[in-house]
């Protein structure tokens, strides 16, 4: 026993650390943690200076992580800490540490050498103490930033490990995950170019609900644990079909439009499993009306009652035992024209800009819609030979297990949810007014 005491703190509820005093912070995988949440822990760094003030770890922090990829929705604030490193100080620390190591080796050899006198050993011990103090002092107040690739463990992992990763990952993933090379997607390359941190909220859980359970209780996560859902109002659902089935669930709440939840299934799971996940999560909902928005292709066999939109409607309204669930699904996209990439691009950037006061303010639950968040952040944009805007959808050909967070599938369900006639007409009306105003000015 070393006498160390560790506090494990959830950064999702950083307030629980209030009142504790610690000497040092250890934060692992910080690419998954927002910077403002880490900063809430700073007041706890107030340990006993009389006891620990001489330690280089006193009032310090140790951050570790894989190379963060902002394109996957990960947080890269740790990279900015590199500028805090004083390279000259680090060089002196390394030089002093090497001397301490040499003295330690000298001391071990002296103790094992019967010819060495106690005075000689004592002199070495005093020299070690002197250099240890020097090392401790120069380490205080220092920042050491270091990036290494996974190849530092090549002797243990073997070359076959890296060969396998190179063959299974796409090169961009290999660069960031294995080589620790920064991955970036510039704003001009993003389809949702106006997507900002302000569009995501992180306080979407109702802890008054979860706090009633004990550690050994069987807690089932449902919509009852969502802080901002209105259980008395209908739910809007965007549906994207394919080898990955995606649902994005939201509600218009006054001036805000809140995206509350993302649900998906991967083959061999299909519509029945997707409906079951929805029914289980939203079981506490009092108003069981769904406004379902979907791709025109999902409704193309409507007359034959074989389209996927109707299949989902039936699976939600009638459970797998053939019983009525009480839910009513309204098919909102029947007869709606196909939503082109250019139309989605113009609308989404208008919506996310916040400039159009007739459109709602977009708010997305970052925890319950983490796959959607990633999908929106990494969706690239390009132009075809005619100059038309296109969303690059090659990621939808990835292996099934990579689709939820690395493909544009979820962004399509999001498109159907929000690119509804009412909102599209509002955005279109503003563009028409701009054109009229432009003509008048030029005239």
- 172-193 pLDDT, tens digit each: 677 777 888 776 555 558 899 8
In whole angstroms, how far apart are CA 125 and each of 102, 108, 110, 116, 292?
12, 10, 10, 13, 77
Our count of domains for the chain comes to 3
For residues 144 and 296, the model is more confident at: 144
Alpha-carbon span 407 to 387, nearest angstrom = 24
Residues 221 and 317 in one domain: yes
CB 91 within 8 A of CB 81: no
Q: Domain boundary at 50, 68, 84, which?
A: 84
Q: Residue 330: name the closest of 317, 349, 348, 345 by CA.
A: 317
DSSP labels for 339-362?
Answer: --HHHHHHHHHHHHH---TTSPEE
Q: Residue 355: name the closest of 427, 270, 269, 265 by CA.
A: 427
Which of 1-15, 50-64, 319-333 is the most confident on average?
319-333
Whether 174 maps to a domain, the answer reads: no
Query: Average of pLDDT values for 275-295?
Result: 96
Residues 258 and 350 in one domain: yes
* Tokens matching residue 414: 């999001």
pLDDT of residue 174: 79
CB 235 within 8 A of CB 249: yes
**Within 13 Å of residue 383, how many CA atoms lie on the same side as its CB?**
5
Which helix (H) or strand (E) segment holds residue 290: the answer is strand 289-294
DSSP labels for 149-216?
Answer: -GGGGHHHH-HHHHHHHHHHS-HHHHHHHTS-------GGGBTTTT--GGGEES--B-HHHHTTS-TT
Question: For the ranges 36-50, 72-86, 169-183, which has the lowest average pLDDT?
Answer: 169-183
Whether 6 maps to a domain, the answer reads: no
Number of residues in the chain = 443
What is the pTM for the complete model shown?
0.65
Query: Residue holding tokens 């409906």?
Result: 275
Asked if the model's pLDDT at residue 302 lies above 60, the reply is: no
Average pLDDT, the chain: 87
Whether 230 maps to a domain, the answer reads: yes
Residues 203 and 61 in one domain: no
Domain residue limits at 129: 87-139
Residues 292 and 383 in one domain: yes
pLDDT of residue 437: 45
Residues 323 and 402 in one domain: yes
Alpha-carbon span 192 to 179, nearest angstrom = 28
For residues 200 and 297, the model is more confident at: 200
Strands 235-240 and 244-253 come out as: antiparallel
Q: Residue 174: name the closest of 194, 193, 150 by CA.
A: 150
Alpha-carbon span 421 to 339, nearest angstrom = 10
Residues 68 and 91 in one domain: no
Asked if the model's pLDDT at residue 304 lies above 50, the reply is: no
For residues 186 and 394, the model is more confident at: 394
CB 273 within 8 A of CB 280: no
Alpha-carbon span 231 to 209, nearest angstrom = 15
Q: Domain boundary at 38, 69, 84, which?
A: 84
Strand, coil or helix: 404? helix
In whole angstroms, how far apart are CA 19 and each of 41, 44, 297?
11, 7, 57
pLDDT of residue 356: 92
Whether 31 maps to a domain, the answer reads: yes
Whether 438 maps to a domain, the answer reads: no
Asked if the model's pLDDT at residue 256 lies above 60, the reply is: yes
pLDDT of residue 435: 47
DSSP labels for 291-303?
Answer: EEEE-GGGGTTGG
């Amino acid at each position: 026993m070393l006498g160390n005491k560790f506090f494990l703190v959830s950064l999702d509820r950083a307030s629980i650390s209030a009142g504790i005093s610690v000497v040092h912070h250890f934060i692992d995988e910080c690419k998954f943690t927002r910077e403002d949440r880490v900063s809430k822990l700073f007041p706890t760094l107030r340990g006993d200076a009389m006891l620990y003030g001489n330690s280089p770890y006193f009032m310090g922090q140790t951050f570790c992580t894989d190379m963060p990829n902002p394109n996957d929705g990960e947080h890269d604030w740790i990279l900015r800490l590199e500028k805090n490193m004083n390279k000259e100080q680090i060089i002196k620390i390394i030089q002093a540490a090497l001397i301490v190591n040499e003295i330690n080796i000298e001391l071990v050899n002296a103790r094992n050498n019967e010819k060495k006198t106690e005075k000689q050993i004592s002199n070495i011990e005093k020299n070690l103490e002197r250099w240890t103090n020097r090392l401790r002092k120069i380490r205080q107040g220092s920042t050491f930033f270091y990036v290494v690739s996974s190849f530092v463990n090549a002797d243990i992992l073997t070359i076959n490990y890296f060969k396998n990763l190179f063959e299974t990952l796409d090169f961009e993933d290999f660069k960031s995950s294995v080589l620790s090379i920064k991955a970036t997607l510039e704003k001009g390359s993003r389809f949702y170019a106006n997507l900002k941190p302000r569009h995501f909220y992180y306080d979407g859980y109702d802890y008054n609900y979860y706090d009633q359970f004990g550690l050994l209780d069987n807690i089932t996560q449902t919509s009852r644990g969502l802080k901002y859902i209105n259980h008395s109002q209908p739910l809007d659902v965007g549906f994207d079909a394919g080898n990955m089935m995606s649902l994005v669930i939201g509600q218009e709440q006054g001036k805000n439009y809140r995206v509350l939840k993302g649900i998906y299934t991967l083959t061999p799971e299909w519509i029945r499993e997707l409906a079951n996940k929805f029914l289980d999560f939203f079981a506490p909902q009092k108003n069981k009306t769904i406004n379902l928005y979907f791709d025109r292709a999902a409704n193309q066999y409507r007359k034959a009652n074989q389209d996927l939109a109707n299949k989902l409607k039936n699976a939600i309204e009638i459970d797998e035992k053939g019983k009525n669930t009480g839910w009513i699904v309204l098919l909102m996209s029947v007869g709606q024209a196909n939503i082109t990439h250019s139309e989605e691009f113009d609308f989404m950037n208008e919506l996310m800009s916040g400039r159009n006061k007739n459109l709602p303010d977009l708010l997305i639950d970052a925890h319950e819609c983490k796959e959607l968040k990633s999908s929106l952040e990494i969706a690239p944009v390009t132009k075809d030979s005619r100059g038309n805007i296109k969303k690059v959808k090659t990621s939808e050909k990835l292996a099934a297990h990579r689709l939820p967070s690395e493909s544009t599938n979820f962004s399509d369900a999001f498109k159907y949810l929000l690119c509804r006639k009412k909102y599209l007409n509002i955005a279109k009306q503003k563009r028409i007014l701009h054109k009229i105003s432009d003509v008048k000015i030029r005239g």
